[in-house]
Amino acid sequence: MKNILKSKYDLQQIRISGKITADVLKMIQPYIVPDISTKDINDICHNYITHVKKSIPACLGYNNFPKSICISVNDVVCHGIPNKKLFLKNGDIVNIDVSVIKNNYYADASKMFLVGLVTNKHKLLCKITQNSLYLSLKCVKHGVKINKIGYIIQKYVEKNKFSIVKEYCGHGIGKNFHELPYILHFYNKNDHTIMQKNMVFTIEPMVNEKSSHIQCMKDGWTVKTQDGGLSAQYEHTILVTDTGCEVITHQENEKIPKIFINI
């Protein structure tokens, strides 16, 4: 369980990585338009992370992942590989998942981008997914059981007639990309882990329009819905505090505070 609680120095460094991650998601926004290839989006992010931010894209080479970020379009649930033959088109919903390393510390965040005119149903899917993450942040605080996060997310998503992907979870993060504690996005009555001040972890619900079932493609990475329904995901890196939490990867244009006071 070592490293699960971060030191002051750890937190200073994680905040720097978090700001870089947030800046990548802001920088890429104007490029998410019809006819750009996902490889070109990858390359713009790669150059910004390496040249402007002097950082390392954490996905590149991670378990042999071949690109610098994940780009998951429509029925791709997660881990979409940027591809020079895949062009965005009007109506697509696109997740961009950015993880960076700066001074050996990681941060991780993702959000949805809407390309041109998106159907109301698919806009709703994105909004409910984002809201489920935002709602869960209101329960994060020292002393609260970690399984409350999944309880809130699952309840909200299912009330809205969408489904939660069960195979992937949030994770502790710091000097490692993925570490303890693991954060399920559905209720697990057997998880008695308690949130503690100075824990840092991601919350990253994946929400499907139809069934929650998924399948991995032969490339070993791309995960799609089984039924072809669309899928959305939002992710933040979060620091647990005495009074609530701090959204380490907060973006200026988000309609939530960077610091949550949950007392």
- Closest distance to ligand MF3 from the beta carbon of 201 (Å): 11
Of 164-203, binders to ligand MF3 (CB under 6 A) are 202
User: Of Co ion, ligand MF3, none, which one does residue 65 interact with (CB within 5 to 8 Å by kind)?
Assistant: ligand MF3
d(CA 190, CA 145): 11
From 134, 209, 200, 216, select the one nearest 168 (Cα to Cα): 216
**Per-residue interface string for the shown chain with Co ion, residues 173-212, x marking contact by CB under 5 A:** -----------------------------x----------
75 carries a ligand binding annotation: no
Q: Which of 55, 99, 132, 222 binds ligand MF3 (CB under 6 A)?
A: 99
User: Of Co ion, ligand MF3, none, which one does residue 59 interact with (CB within 5 to 8 Å by kind)?
Assistant: ligand MF3
- Closest distance to Co ion from the beta carbon of 237 (Å): 8
From 108, 81, 143, 56, select the one nearest 234 (Cα to Cα): 108
- Closest distance to ligand MF3 from the beta carbon of 8 (Å): 25
For residue 192, give Cα distances in angstroms to 149, 161, 197: 12, 28, 16
Q: Which of 204, 208, 237, 244 binds ligand MF3 (CB under 6 A)?
A: 204
* Segment lying near ligand MF3 (by CB under 6 A), choices 60-68, 118-126, 149-157, 254-262: 60-68
Q: Which long-range contacts (CB under 8 A, 24 or more apart) does 109-113 make?
A: 109/18, 109/21, 109/22, 109/25, 109/202, 109/235, 109/236, 109/237, 109/249, 110/25, 110/70, 110/204, 110/233, 110/234, 110/235, 111/25, 111/234, 111/235, 111/251, 112/232, 112/233, 112/234, 113/29, 113/32
Q: Which of 31, 40, 65, 188 binds ligand MF3 (CB under 6 A)?
A: 65
The binding site comprises: 79, 97, 108, 171, 178, 204, 235
Q: Which residues form the interface with ligand MF3 (CB under 6 A)? A: 59, 62-63, 65, 70, 79, 97, 99, 108, 202, 204, 235
